[in-house]
Structure 1
């Protein structure tokens, strides 16, 4: 099964959208990750975790050095670089899947690309610094645009998320980013209410109007904790429900902490939704 979304090249890999759901494994190099898996400055632990995620089936690793928790303090570029660059350099020399850099700072993204990263995941969707777009164009790498508008109150969440993502797509295209290198993310947990997050998952298919592959990041998020009254390390089943329904609604890639388990959920859901389970 294939779609009109085509193919996105990322390093030595091709993401042929529609054939299956791709798995983005999370590698948090923060000491204060909301999900409780932050590795801080422990390079050996980070490398071991990355190897495990790849062995469990991750198609790409998303490396981040700054916490996205709403109450977290922003890092300087130098602080963020000190956390991620050494790890990216070592990973790029030994793992077989591409690396994404999770940052909204162009100076961090550039250094990460020089170190071996091959995708930029901008959790602010070019709102904090649109210069990430020409950088992605310069390097010819995929750019993830996340709908993140923490300073506003959504009246009707899906149309406003679509408008936010369309703005990001237009900025990226105007900066020279190839259409096939743009991936969109509705930004679950970023500036939305519990009801808004649930509605976005319920209506995820409406994002198809934008004509770009959809990345869904729900893993261990607080909305699951609020619904189930569980801490981050007990949200596996809740995450699985959001992943399965997200794929049914049109997600093309899922960003997860528990690669082995969510890979199984994805494959089972793909067998039902897309067919071709052999």
Structure 2
């Protein structure tokens, strides 16, 4: 990582130039009539945080507070263990923590609003007092998102693209939270039943464009939005490989691109390995994603992937400077 003097937000002490100063309270920004820009701003606005993804790609750490997630389900179901793991991941180089209380693996059983909130809100509340990095809540339920934001979350990561709950965009618009809009096809119960596309990349692009427009219509500024093409969500192994190969096709959406290849089944299919042994495959996919323009990488293994991303970014910058 860079040795430059960090710039701090009012809320925390930043590192590696990751945070930049927040605008003063009361500063007015008029986004109502501004046309969408195709150029990325370089700064992702998430609550009181300003995340500088132009300087380097960001590492989003995965923390599943669930008994049944495909990779680490049950490992951090206990709140004390979840808090300890989040602090460890911050120390290993995570730039933000994504906390989920409902598994989104193929075939996962849905949980109620109350059960999901019971799992995540106490963890968010405790971590908001201890972390120097922002917290993302991984949920498709507006009530869970609302409670998590009240507890200290700064980002909503909705794997349904803010489609499943009609109130989710309103919750996001009511505050200053960042958004991750992900493409998926179907639900966790149905998404892997022979997913088909006439035009894979075109269909994903159209979906993401439409959902960005929907967010902007709700008066959510473009600089609060990131998008995720949804590797592993309603895609075959070949679909996932094609998405990674063509990530550059999403560069003109005007918002940062998040990619989550960590331990996914397409890697397991290539290597014939279980989730716990897919680190090297994840590293290869993450490096390709960065080289193709991804600015946020969502992973379980922080220290090794932060190093991989740093090297991949150095190669990408050298290529661009030729």
Bucket of the pairwise TM-score, normalised by the shorter protein: over 0.9
Q: Which of the residues 124, 128, 138 maps onto 1:102?
A: 138
Structure-2 separation of matches of 1:32 and 1:129: 23
Provide structure 2 residue ranges, at least 5 long, that are not aligned to the other structure.
1-38
Q: Which residue is 1:170 aligned to?
A: 213
Q: Is the 8 Å Cα contact of residues 47 and 176 (structure 2) preserved in structure 1?
A: no
Query: Which residue does the alignment assign to 1:161?
Result: 204
Matched residues, number = 273
SS in 2 for 1:139: coil
Aligned to 2:301: 258
Cα distance in 2 for residues equivalent to 1:38 and 1:269: 32
* 8 Å CA contact 1:154, 1:192 repeated in 2: no
Equivalent-residue separation in structure 2 for 1:130 and 1:148 (angstroms): 16
Instruction: State the distance in 1 between where 2:75 and 2:101 align.
Output: 9
The residue number in structure 2 matching 1:18 is: 54
Unaligned runs of 5+ in 1: none
User: Cα offset for 1:37?
Assistant: 4.7
Structure 2 counterpart of 1:246, from 281, 289, 292: 289
Residue aligning to 2:88: 52
Corresponding position: 1:216 with 2:259: yes
1:198: which partner in 2?
241
Distance 1:72 1:204 in 2: 28
**1:52: how far off?**
0.6
In structure 1, distance between residues paired with 2:204 and 2:100: 23
Seen in structure 2, the aligned counterparts of structure 1 residues 17 and 41 have a Cα distance that, compared at 3 Å, is closer
* SS across alignment from 1:44: helix
Q: TM-score, normalised by structure 1?
A: 0.95
Check whether the contact 1:19–1:274 (CA below 8 A) recurs between aligned residues: no
Please tell me whether residue 267 in structure 1 is matched to residue 303 in structure 2: no
The structural deviation recorded for 1:130 is 3.6
Query: How far is the alpha carbon of 1:36 from its aligned partner?
Result: 2.8
Hey, what's the Cα distance between the residues in 2 that align with 1:257 and 1:48?
14
- Say what the alpha-carbon RMSD is for the aligned residues: 1.3
Which residue number in structure 1 is paired with residue 154 of structure 2?
A: 118
Q: 2:185 aligns with which of 141, 145, 149?
A: 149
Q: Per-residue displacement from partner, 1:86-139 (whole Å, max 9, x unpaired)?
A: 100000011111100000100000000000000000000022124211211111
**Structure 2 CA distance, aligned partners of 1:19 and 1:274?**
11
Q: Deviations over 1:122-179 (max 9, x none)?
A: 0000221242112111111111000011366212211011011112111111111111
Preserved contact between residue 20 and residue 274 of structure 1 (Cα < 8 Å)? no
Q: Which has the larger radius of gyration?
A: 2
Distance in 2, Cα, partners of 1:220 & 1:166: 27
Q: Distance in 2 between matches of 1:130 and 1:7?
A: 28
Is the 8 Å Cα contact of residues 76 and 85 (structure 2) preserved in structure 1?
A: no
- Which residues in structure 2 correspond to 1:56-75 (within 5 Å)? 56-75=92-111
Cα distance in 1 for partners of 2:53, 2:130 equals 26
In the aligned structure 2, how far is the partner of 1:82 from the partner of 1:40? 14
